[in-house]
Amino acid sequence: MRTSSGRSRIGRIALVIALFTALLVATPVLGIALTALQPAPEVWPHLVAYVLPRALADTALLLIGVGATALLLGAGAAWLISAHDFAGRAWLLWLMPLPLAIPTYLSAYVYVDLFEPLGLAHHALAALLPQADAVQLLPNLRSLPGAVLVIGLVLYPYVYLSARSVLQAQTAELSEAARTLGAGRWTILCRVTLPTARPALAVGVALVALETLNDIGASEYLGVRTMTVAIFDTWLNRGSLAGAAQLALVALGMVALLIAMERIGRRNVSVEFSAEAPRLRPRTPLKGGRAALAFAACLLPPLLGFVLPACYLLALSLRRGAIAGVDLALWRDALHSVTLALLATLLALLLGLIVVLAQRWRSGAAASAAVAVAQTGYALPGLVLALGLLTPLLWFDNALIALAAALGAPSPGLLLIGSGGAVVAAYVIRFLAVPTGLLKAGLARIPKDYDDTARAAGASRLTALWRIDLPLLRPALTGAAIVVFVDCLKELPATLLLRPLNVDTLATSIYQYASRGSFEDGALAALIIVAASIPPVIWLTRFSDRAV
């Protein structure tokens, strides 16, 4: 319902930017598709004979294993904590989500270090047994089961958070009705609680699976040959960009399958919560042994997923600091991390805001499509994203060089690839879903009447935005900023492939230390990443509680 031409001009600009943003997010997939069109006959016989079968099997097993581990730990803890009252529960509320502060690759480095021969676990065992016997008892974490455990322990909070938001909201009526029909506690759990929680569990497990597919650091280090590792290898060690792009298409197929499964998981459930002030289900109090058991069961995942790795990193940093001093390069890496993350955060917030505003101001198929596309970047594994961005960005850079040459100007060099612009672009594409999603939800809570009233009083669109919408959106903006910033700080694969000369970030320097067999030299950098990630995790927890 357009009323004035002034209204549509700013709206039109917003729409154009929104469409460009959507195009940017779609660029890597287009880039992959184009690159994959080139034939790669020299690598396919090898890929088919040795690489692909193993990659598909390992990826499937890893996804199933990590998904099941996260589901068991996350949903189990969420149920214990939401439906029961026991001593220490208040502590657990804070502890449970903290493993999200540990990137998967760090979890892998720490656990391998702990359980390696002559490591801490070995020394502990050697107190009881001869050293040579003790070494035989150490679990081999460089294996598929090792990877399942190490990754599952830090990703379960995705399931936990989404499950808890639903379990908390289940009203008393539902379970009371079941009870009056003679259902016992287990029947209620299996027939009422779990089915109504299914959509939330599906969302949580899907996030876990996407993060697992995104991982390269942990799987590579633990010797699990996933699709992501195979893509990396085919491109960088076998020298076939086209072959890698073709494998990436297979990986994208897996992503599509995962998202379809998540949709199916959410289907056929319509939960009607009563409209007037819902009476939350009273929590069952637990006492004595049962309370202790519940507490211990909930404590174990965050203990292994966060407390132990964080403490180990702290101890290792102190020890290395005492031995080798603090490497000055660390501060340079930290500065690079912060600068890149900051720029990407600002840009992602700005573009996310424009995309959702375009939809609000100019409802229509184009604007809705832009919002939908803008949120797809998160599903792209970072390595695939970098691979897909490379060709289009280089095309852009080389076009600029040609343009400069035609104009007789000095060559700008590779502008985006050479400057870190490529890294920022990758971050924005991958994490734009966060501000877009949060701002969309935030904006939906602001009645359009507010805008209309302000406009009737003579305020321009921008004034209304500045004076009314933005202040109301502040919590969403803050939250999005924190989450994007830290996700950028942790990002590994895209940064590794797209960083320019003289630039290492905290994440890439840790990766390089680890891949050269001296992870302990990166312990302090790792500790900084973990410490910086704690506030956003706490914010996320509070946000997901409030959203209920």
Partner 1 sequence: MIAIRAAALAVAAALFPLHAAAAAEQVNVYTYRETKLVQPLFDAFTKDSGIAVNVISASSGLEQRIKAEGAGSPADVLLTVDIGRIDDAVAAGVSQPIKSEVIDEIVPPQYRDPNGHWAGISMRARVIYASKDRVKQQAITYEELADPKWKGKICIRSGQHIYNNALFAAYTARHGEEKAEQWLRGLKANLAQKPSGGDRETARDVAAGKCDLGIGNTYYWALMMNGDPDKKPWAEATRVILPTFEGGGTHVNLSGVLLAKHAPNKANALKLIEWLAGDKAQQIYADANYEYPIRPGVALNPTIAGYGRLTADPMPIAKIAAQRKTASTLVDKVGFDN
Residues that bind partner 1 (CB under 8 A): 17, 20-21, 24, 46, 49-50, 116-118, 122, 131-132, 135, 140, 142-143, 223, 232, 235-237, 239, 241, 323, 327, 329, 336, 339-340, 343, 347, 350-351, 390-391, 394, 397-398, 401, 411, 413-421, 424-425, 428, 496-497, 499-504, 512, 515-518, 520
CB 301 within 8 A of CB 73: yes
- Smaller CB distance to partner 1: residue 27 or 214? 27
CB atoms within 10 A of CB 29: 20
Q: Quick check: 251 and 228 in contact, CB under 8 A?
A: yes
Q: Residue 85 belongs to what H/E stretch? A: strand 84-85
Q: Which is nearer to partner 1, 197 or 353 (CB)?
A: 353
Residue 374 to residue 436: CA distance in whole angstroms = 7
- Closest approach of partner 1 to the CB of residue 221, in Å: 9
Nearer to partner 1, 155 or 390 (CB): 390
Euclidean distance between CA atoms 448 and 452, whole angstroms? 6
Q: Cβ closer to partner 1: 60 or 441?
A: 60
- The residue among 143 and 363 lying less far from partner 1, judged by its C-beta, is 143
Say how far apart CA 244 and CA 66 lie, in whole Å. 25
Closest approach of Cβ 107 to partner 1, in Å? 17
Q: Would you say 368 or 398 has its CB closer to partner 1?
A: 398
Pick between residue 336 and residue 360 the one whose CB is nearest to partner 1: 336
Nearer to partner 1, 306 or 511 (CB): 511
**Who's near 461: CB < 8 A, 6+ residues apart?**
6, 7, 10, 11, 361, 455
Which pair of tokens denotes residue 102?
């540990």
* First CA to last CA distance, the chain: 33
Q: Would you report the helix, strand and coil content of the chain in percent, each value rounded to 5?
A: 80, 0, 20
CB of 424 to partner 1, least distance (A): 5
Q: How far is the CB of 502 from partner 1 (least distance, A)?
A: 5
Rounded to a whole number of angstroms, the minimum distance from the CB of residue 470 to partner 1 is 19
Gap between the Cα atoms of 104 and 11, Å rounded: 42
Judged by beta carbon, residue 54 or residue 279, the one nearer partner 1 is 54
Closer residue to partner 1, CB minimum distance, 256 or 324: 324
CB of residue 255 to partner 1, shortest distance in Å: 23
Phi and psi at 491, nearest 5°, equal: -60, 130
For the bound state, the minimum distance from the C-beta of residue 152 to partner 1, rounded and expressed in Å, comes to 21
d(CA 463, CA 468): 8
From the number of C-beta atoms within 10 Å of its C-beta (0-12, 13-18, 19+), residue 206 rates as buried
Please tell me the distance from the alpha carbon of residue 66 to that of residue 58, in angstroms, as a whole number: 12
Taking the complex as a whole, the smallest distance from the CB of residue 481 to partner 1 amounts, in Å, to: 16
Task: Return d(Cα 246, Cα 226) in angstroms, integer.
Answer: 15
Tokens of 529: 């990443």
Closest distance of CB 194 from partner 1, Å: 39
Nearer to partner 1, 234 or 533 (CB): 234
In angstroms, what is the minimal distance from the CB of 320 to partner 1? 9
Residues in contact with 290: Cβ distance below 8 Å, sequence separation at least 6, in sequence order: 86
Q: Is 306 exposed, middle or buried (0-12, 13-18, 19+ CB in 10 A)?
A: buried
Q: Are 17 and 351 in contact (CB under 8 A)?
A: yes
Nearest to 508 by CA among 488, 491, 483, 484: 491
Scan for tokens 């699990």, then name that residue.
224
284 burial (CB, 10 Å; 0-12 / 13-18 / 19+) is exposed
The rounded distance, in Å, linking the Cα atoms of 160 and 97 is: 8
Q: How far is the CB of 345 from partner 1 (least distance, A)?
A: 12
For residues 206 and 387, which CB has a smaller minimum distance to partner 1 in the complex?
387
Cβ at position 116, least distance to partner 1 in Å: 7
d(C-alpha 343, C-alpha 493), whole Å = 18
Q: Which residues contact 267 (CB under 8 A, 6 or more apart)?
A: none
CB of 415 to partner 1, least distance (A): 6
Alpha-carbon torsion (229, 230, 236, 238), positive or negative: positive
- Residue closer to partner 1 by CB (options 169, 496) is 496
